[in-house]
Structure 1
Amino acid sequence: MAFLMTVKEAVLRPISLSTIPRRNLQWILYSAVNKIDKERIKIIGPDLACAEWLVKCGASVKFHGKSKTIEDYNLIGATVGPEAKLAEVYAEEATIMSTGFLHFENVKEVQKLRFKSCGLFDDGCISELVRHCNKSIKDIAIENCDVTNRGLQLIPSFECLQRLTLIDLPSVKNVDTVYEDLCKALPGCNICLTSGGISRRSFPDDA
């Protein structure tokens, strides 16, 4: 299928954009911005490279020791040095997809993540986060994203998780059962799950 061609092929092949279905063209563009640049990672390090990818996709980031979030790609290098460590990620309507989450490899100190209305955020994204950041993430929120029960089953693999917020996940079924399973698997974690007209939380509203 046409949308599976590589970005390089799409650039080199003389095609008319009007002949490509809009959804397929978007997929090509999203795949390009999520592509791993190994040389860039070697030059500036995994944390800055991960931050650059996130900001290019429309997210904002915060580094340890810095009070302000960064949402301008050009400010990353000007604001922090090469030894800076990524601390927090805020992604709303960002075009992040699972292939891009390979950027989190060797990002060791990220602690807080927010994903809201990211149409390409799915179970694969959670899988990559578990693979690379399961020992550092303490607080994660996922709202209105394409996550299923299978993805939520991976959440307990975050070894240091203290707070989990899940809101409006239309692909998640049996919300009460999911909530109970998460509470059993994460007894020390504050959990809020609101979806499908059901709202459950393991901590007071003012906690």
Structure 2
Amino acid sequence: MSLLTNIHIALPRKLYVPRINQNRTFWEYVNMMFNKPDPKRIEAVGPDRACAEWVLRNGGRIIWADGKKLADYNSLPSDEQAVPKIIEIDGTNSSISHYGFPHLSGCTMLQRIILHNDNYIDDRAMKGLSYGRKTLTHVQISKCPSVTDLGVKEIKILDKLETLKLFDLQGVTNLEECKKYLQSHLPKCQIQGGEKKINENST
């Protein structure tokens, strides 16, 4: 009876663990496919249009340089129509991830990025913000549970930042220390944040 009991306990563990791994691998693959840049598409329609498609396809919003806001992928103009430059990306509640951040490199007027309540945003995405270092002046990272202290410190590369908002980051163990570290690298940047929410979704 003891031997049978041990076998009965061991089998479910063997069957259950790979299933979790398979699910994680599957959804990671799906996320990658929805996010990663397509060089041919970028060449065909331009970096700002391709970046807008990436953000909207994953549930985010953008603001064009003419002030118009867009949240619906199906509202994009046809490929033949020229589009303005992107000045803001709002990734609130979206599924954008680090796979898509190379899109930022071609957006020459992109100033603001908001990443709020994004489960796919992690330390790799923090490092990926470097693709926008030439133009980004305002960044908000909030309620992104997979971002850690190491990821926050990657923001030091954004040397044109004027405003940085950090709050509700459960994966960060010492936010104050991170802020001091960033301030030493970005002395001209106003760094805001703490445990309490501040001006959520607004840079």
- Which residue is 1:44 aligned to? 45
How many pairs are equivalent?
180
Query: Would you say the 8 A contact 2:149–2:175 is kept in 1?
Result: no
Matched letter for residue 44 of structure 2: I
Give, in angstroms, the shift of residue 22 of structure 1.
Answer: 4.5
Q: Flag the structure with higher helix content.
A: 2
- Greater relative contact order: 1 or 2 (C-alpha under 8 angstroms, separation 6 or more)? 2
TM-score in terms of structure 1 length: 0.77
The 3 A distance-change label for structure 1 pair 144 and 83 is same
Matched letter for residue 140 of structure 1: V
Residue 51 of structure 2 aligns to a residue whose secondary structure is helix
Residue 140 of structure 1 aligns to a residue whose secondary structure is strand
- Which residue is 1:167 aligned to? 167
- Which residue is 2:194 aligned to? 194
Query: Would you say the 8 A contact 1:162–1:190 is kept in 2?
Result: yes
2:94 maps to 1:103: no
Matched letter for residue 175 of structure 1: L
Matched letter for residue 84 of structure 1: P
- Which residue is 2:11 aligned to? none
Runs of 5+ unmatched residues, structure 1: 1-17, 202-207
Tell me, in whole angstroms, the C-alpha distance in 2 between the residues paired with 1:176 and 1:143: 15
Tell me, in whole angstroms, the C-alpha distance in 1 between the residues paired with 2:138 and 2:168: 18
- Which residue is 2:10 aligned to? none
2:58 maps to 1:57: yes
Matched letter for residue 139 of structure 2: I
Tell me, in whole angstroms, the C-alpha distance in 1 between the residues paired with 2:136 and 2:76: 22
Written as runs of structure 1 = structure 2, the 5 A alignment for 1:170-185 is 170-185=170-185
TM-score in terms of structure 2 length: 0.79
Tell me, in whole angstroms, the C-alpha distance in 1 between the residues paired with 2:60 and 2:123: 19
Give, in angstroms, the shift of residue 74 of structure 1.
Answer: 2.2
- Which residue is 1:10 aligned to? none
Runs of 5+ unmatched residues, structure 2: 1-18, 199-203
Residues 15-61 of structure 1 show CA distances to partners (whole Å, capped at 9, x for unaligned) of xxx9x955444323212211322211111101110110110000000
Tell me, in whole angstroms, the C-alpha distance in 2 between the residues paired with 1:133 and 1:21: 33
Matched letter for residue 142 of structure 1: I
Residues 157-190 of structure 1 show CA distances to partners (whole Å, capped at 9, x for unaligned) of 1121111000111111222222222222222211
Query: Would you say the 8 A contact 1:45–1:82 is kept in 2?
Result: no
